[in-house]
Structure 1
Amino acid sequence: MKHIALIATTIACFGGFLFGYDTGVISSVLVMPTFFKDLGIDPKAQPDYVSEVKGNVVALLQAGCCAGAILINFFADRWGRKFAIVLSSIIFVVGGILQVVAHNMDTMLAGRFVAGFGVGANSMLVPMYIAEIAPRRLRGRLGTLWQFLIVIGIMLSYWIGYGCLNNIAAGSLQWKVPLGIQIIPGGILVIGIPFMPESLRWLAAHGKMDQCRKTLANIRDVPEDDPSVIQEMEEIERAIELERESKSLRISEIFASSNLRRLFIGCMLQLFQQWTGTNAINYYAPEIFQAIGLSSAETQVLATGVYGCVKVAFVFVSFFMVDTKLGRRRTLMIGSVIMCAAFYILGGMIYMILQQPPNSAVGAKGYIAIIMVYVFAIGYEFSWGPIVWIVCSEIYPTRIRAMCLSLTTAINWAMNATIAKVTPIMLLNIPYGTYFLFGSFAVVMGLFVYFLLPETRGRSLEQMDEVFGQGILAFRHDNSVPTEKLHDDEERAVERHEDNHEEKHEEKREYVE
């Protein structure tokens, strides 16, 4: 079937939509006038308790995500990537329903945790599934769809929250509607994934070579005897055979020197992605815009919605940039520079705003600060947003890929929960220092990539051993991006397909004659 890899990737990436929507929707729900009252809490009588509960409502989703990312690995390796994605999506739907029907805070928190389990599991599974079915020349671009659906989810959650805040009368329905909408993409995953192809690497690892070959030919839209299919099958079989020859257990394989280095890189990339500060803004954007000088809740949520639009626009740009000569390394380093500059300027503006008399109008400093929030979104969304997921999904051997991705994704969610919990405290105690801290992390991230992350763009999953076998210091590697070679390979594959089609047509014509 033509474009099956794109169709499968798009459907799978609704897991990213869940990720983004659940991340963003809570920021507007928490400022709904009846949310806490409907759950049995009086915000005016219990302000300190409300502040604590806000952190719990946000952080429990991430705690569930961390658990899901670790535990789903056992299902993904045994019963396949498709089964695990469907199971995770069902769990998410149950969590979404619990949030909608909640009449007390305990049920709401339980729903957040259960939904988080499903989101965290899919955040590990979907990038891995995409990497294992995508052609190497399109792996980065298809992987970017994951981040694109995340920010689409974030953006829509902001605007749906804004619409509900302004067009639905204050009451339970005002916050139940945005929380209920998240069930729809979960249902799409449950229904759609069973019709998609299984992961090629999983089929091969479980000895299903004939099915793997048929699936590969179907995904690439060429005959099973096409040279490109034969070559890719040989690479897959060779990699699987090498893994089977190893007598060590998978848990001990992770701690082999070459694999441990990759695991360290993946964990640090996921840790750094959270300490860019992106989710500090995603979760608490209204409060951040309030500190800048925007007074009303509607205006704060509106500015947050614009922030979501900026994120979507530049993930769309990254879709066309990720598989160019820039590669993974340079894109991450450029993003680090942009984020560092944005946060340092934002911190400076916040510092000067705090020196002004209370309730001062939003002046030039405030507008510059708002623009810097958007500039940060630009730097993040074409670099550390999509690239981290792509790199983590492609650098591990097939035999331990699911286990390594579980660990790296769990690190992401653990740091996500930490950010959710400490950001309100930092914004209260070090309002401008918060942005200097995130800006300083951007410097560290850029240096980490320069020294330790080799270029992986354009290499097959089976070539990663060679990539990471060149030494620890990545800046000494051959980090060229083989764009032209991939283009030539693509043209040759198209020519072979056309030649085969013409030969079959000629044979058919001769037979008729």
Structure 2
Amino acid sequence: MAGRFFGGMGIGACSMLVPMYVAEIAPRGLRGRLGTLWQFLIVLGIMVSYWVDYGCLRHVPVGNTQWRIPLGIQIAPGGILMIGMAFLPESLRWLALRGRKDEVLKNLSKLRDLPTDHPDIIQELQEIEDAAEMDRQASSGKWTELFERENLHRLFLGIMLQIFQQWTGSNAINYYGPDIFRSIGLSSNDTEILATGVYGAVKVAFVFITFFFVDNRMGRRQTLMIGSVIQMVSFFVLGGMILSLEKDNGGVLGTNATVGAKGYVAMVCIYIFAIGYEISWGPIVWIVCSEIYPTRVRAISLSLTTAFNWAMNATLAKVVPIMMNDISYGTYFFFGAMSVVMGSFAYLFLPETRGRSLEEINE
């Protein structure tokens, strides 16, 4: 329990700090890609965990070693992160807020791989310094500032995006994938874990593809709307297939159920959902939330919105098993309906931030 507590603290802190840090050091033309890289590494880690679980299930004798190996492996990436932190430059905006202009110039030149007297460096440095000066004059970045009208609107956007990201249903599948695949009739524990591993591989593949178009092809807002449509269709078809399968099997689905083509359609729908999520609500939410806040309140705002994300995550972990048990196929209709709501929210309320500097967004 203590290990999970401290591990959770580290993961919670990283989920707030990494997107913010990436946004503050990235050039505007690469900010979306680098933010997507964060999501790519998350799903890569999830996929690796699925396959490690599958390997331990197949090749490690039943006992304490079988569960200790997946948990122990987590020490390696944590150690790499701890060592790598020593080589990271400080955030440009953080340095500027504290009047350390020489360090801003030095780090900016290093990050952009350009000489300190290059016109692009001079222009970006001036933008950062001007924004920092405005922030210093405006306020000190206290919690009370979040409730000013301008910041409250941005905070509302960030909180809703984080809530919606959880209610896409992605973590419902991440956490209960084997149970979901069992519910459509997959016949063995090995097969359930294998299908979940394939689900993880699909997520990795398509968030990697997103890396190449997030800053060039479509904006944040349009991508979220397209992803919502894909998720909606996937969940509605999935719910319909499970409803039909339950009718075919006397109202109950399990490992002995006869599934046939409908079961495979349901399984494909889960994979298509993963595609829709990983090109949109998976990476884009973190990117937008790291972009929309002024520097002076960015850390406070992101800590609060990330807290909402994890609160919804915990709620989901408790609620989904109850939903799957009590309303079965209705669980997927619910997530499909949520996709309609979140797509509408993106269309009606979300401003476009692609291709704009953090200073331009804050104007």
TM-score band, normalised by shorter chain = over 0.9
> Per-residue deviation at 1:250?
2.2
Do structure 1's residue 232 and structure 2's residue 129 form an aligned pair? no
**1:401-445 C-alpha deviation (Å, 9 max, x unpaired):** 000000110010000000011111111101100000000000000
For 1:461 and 1:229, the matched residues in 2 are separated by 15
Which residue number in structure 1 is paired with residue 285 of structure 2? 388
Cα RMSD between the aligned structures?
1.0
Q: Which residue of 1 aligns with 2:59?
A: 167
Specify the code of the residue in structure 1 equivalent to 2:73. Answer: I
Alignment of 1:211-290 (within 5 A): 211-247=103-139, 250-290=142-182
CA distance in structure 2 between the partners assigned to 1:362 and 1:325 by the alignment: 40
Q: 2:346 aligns with which of 449, 460, 475?
A: 449
Q: What's 1:193 paired with?
A: 85
Give secondary structure in 2 for the equivalent of 1:254.
Answer: helix
Alpha-carbon distance between aligned partners in 1 of 2:192 and 2:103, rounded to the nearest angstrom? 53
* Mapped partners of 2:310, 2:8: distance in 1: 10
Aligned to 2:215: 323
> What letter corresponds to residue 445 of structure 1 in structure 2?
M
Q: Does the C-alpha gap of structure 1 residues 387 and 247 become closer, same or farther in structure 2, counting only changes over 3 Å? A: closer
Partner Cα distance (2:2, 2:30) in 1:
39
| Structure 1 CA distance for aligned equivalents of residues 50 and 143 of structure 2 | 41
Are 1:420 and 2:312 counterparts? no
For 1:264 and 1:247, how far apart are their aligned partners in 2? 20
2:198 counterpart (306, 309, 320): 306
Q: Could you tell me the TM-score, scaled by structure 1's length?
A: 0.69
Distance 2:36 2:217 in 1: 16
Give the alignment partner of residue 142 of structure 1, picking from 34, 47, 54. Answer: 34
Deviation at 1:113, TM superposition (A): 2.1
1:335-376 deviation digits (Å, cap 9, x = unpaired)? 000000000000001111111236233311100000000000
In 1, the alpha carbon distance for the partners of 2:5 and 2:245 equals 38
Q: 1:321: Cα distance to partner?
A: 1.4
Q: Considering Cα pairs closer than 8 Å and 6+ residues apart, tell me whether 1 or 2 has the greater RCO.
A: 2
Determine which of 391, 399, 409 is the counterpart of 2:296.
Answer: 399
- Unaligned 5+ segments in structure 2 are none
2:17 is aligned to: 125
Equivalence for 2:335: 438
Identity of aligned residues (%): 65
The aligned amino acid for 2:356 is R
In 1, Cα distance between equivalents of 2:139 and 2:233: 50
Are 2:141 and 2:296, in contact at CA under 8 Å, matched by a contact in 1?
A: no
Find the residue that maps to 2:227 and give its secondary structure.
Answer: helix
Unaligned runs of 5+ in 1: 1-108, 467-513
| CA-CA distance at 1:207 after TM superposition | 1.6
Alignment pair present for 1:429 and 2:321: no
Instruction: Check whether the contact 2:199–2:271 (CA below 8 A) recurs between aligned residues.
Output: yes
Q: Which runs of 4+ in 1 moved over 4 A?
A: none
CA distances 1:60-104 after superposition (whole Å, capped 9, x unpaired): xxxxxxxxxxxxxxxxxxxxxxxxxxxxxxxxxxxxxxxxxxxxx
Partners of 2:65 and 2:347 in 1: CA distance: 50
